[in-house]
Amino acid sequence: MPHWLRAASLCDIDLVDILRREGIDAVLSTPDQARIARPTLERIMAACVRATWARQRGLHFPLVLADTFAFEYMPDMASFVSSAPTLRDAARILDLVPTLFDPGLRMRIAEQGHAARLQMQYIHQDETVQGSSPFVEAAFALCIKLSRTLQGGQSAVSSISFRHAAHEGSSACERFFGAPVSYGAPIDALWFDRAFLDRRLRGAVEALFKSSAERLEAVRQVSGAVVDAPVEGQAEVHAQLAHLLARQPELLQHDLAGMAAVLGLHPRTLQRRLRAEGRTFGQVLDQGRLHWAQQWLGSMTVEEVALKLGFADRTGFSQAFARWTGMTPAQFRKR
């Protein structure tokens, strides 16, 4: 929900009021932990779209939502995508979409001759084209944003097809996508040249990609319980930890007992919940350390970064950084 709040602010609409009209005051106190039932979320999205159009600023809420999205609570996913050797490798993340975003959403790549497409499909029993259309637009906008980032600003997409009809925000879609858009099509899909899938990406870091893939595989292994879980409830505890560590670097000095106290849990409870999610405290802590190391190495000495991250000396930090990324801090700075 935090990126919804950011998008609403940019669109100059009152998301707080929209949420309250749906009786979701609880979300406002812990927005990063909110899970909302699908029908309610569709109503919220539709209200945001209408309110944005009413402002007459040429904006379309699903596009702004995608443009403000960041993998804040999913550092492994961010590392996986940003370090992928090719777009084909990065596309493996699509297997986790049902687990991490929506159990009823499926995204897959189909190839034929020189062409390829990324096709999106909802399998909710009560899915409608109108209800799902803004989510499809947001998902495709995010895919294009990531593709441009990975390819140095270049877009691989040659055209986009939507099942829904054109609407008031269609001109904004065409500007954002930078490619021909067709409406009333049989499928929702991004179309592109198949050759883009296997081109080497400039940000490829094989070791980081491999380690991120291993951690994401652990998530996939326990995904059945996540996918089948009710929509109401708290965020997974590893996501809560990642969120805290990404915003309060002083917490990196805490051990498991200290972080359990911050979360209001018994240390054994925290350990058990992390294990159920396929994680260890050390893995989550290392994710937080890597996040801040990458931030601080641009302006601090290696010794200063090592100390702030809780390492005894430069050597210990350098060895850990090499294990996380496959390169030394000095090599990282030269990228």
| Cβ atoms of 138 and 105 closer than 8 Å | no
Q: How many other C-beta atoms can be found within 10 angstroms of the C-beta atom of residue 65?
A: 27
Q: The whole model's pTM is what?
A: 0.62
- CA 203 to chain CA centroid, nearest Å: 18
Cα 46 from Cα 138, distance rounded (Å): 13
Cα 63 from Cα 286, distance rounded (Å): 33
* Residue (of 104, 111, 119) closest to 186 by Cα position: 119
The CA-atom distances, in angstroms, between 14 and each of 6, 11, 51, 124 are 11, 9, 8, 29
Structure tokens at 43: 């109503």
DSSP state at residue 222:
T
* Residue (of 49, 2, 51) closest to 30 by Cα position: 2
- Residue 235: the pLDDT is 57
Question: Which domains does the chain show, CATH number per domain?
Answer: 2-198 (3.90.1520), 236-333 (1.10.10.60)
User: Could you list the pLDDT tens digit for every one of the 335 residues in the chain?
Assistant: 678 888 999 999 999 999 888 887 644 544 444 457 778 888 999 999 999 999 999 999 999 999 888 765 567 777 888 888 998 888 888 876 665 556 667 788 888 788 889 888 876 656 788 888 999 999 899 888 888 888 777 778 889 999 999 999 999 999 999 889 999 988 899 999 889 889 888 888 888 888 888 877 665 554 443 333 333 334 578 888 888 888 788 788 788 887 887 776 788 888 899 988 888 999 999 988 998 998 898 888 999 898 888 888 899 999 999 998 888 998 888 87
Across 40-185, the runs of DSSP E, i.e. the strands, are 105-112, 115-122, 157-161, 181-182
- Residue 233: the pLDDT is 37
- Residue 29: the pLDDT is 43
- Residue whose token pair is 């390492």: 311
137 Cβ contact partners less than 8 Å away, ≥ 6 residues apart: 60, 62, 63, 66, 162, 173
41 Cβ contact partners less than 8 Å away, ≥ 6 residues apart: none
Q: What are phi and psi of 115, to 5 degrees?
A: -105, 155
Cα 54 from Cα 57, distance rounded (Å): 8
> Helix crossing, 38-54 with 2-11: angle to 10°?
20
* Residue (of 18, 25, 23) closest to 45 by Cα position: 18
The CA-atom distances, in angstroms, between 113 and each of 110, 190, 192, 194, 223 are 10, 16, 12, 8, 34
- Residue 33: the pLDDT is 42
Cα 291 from Cα 289, distance rounded (Å): 5
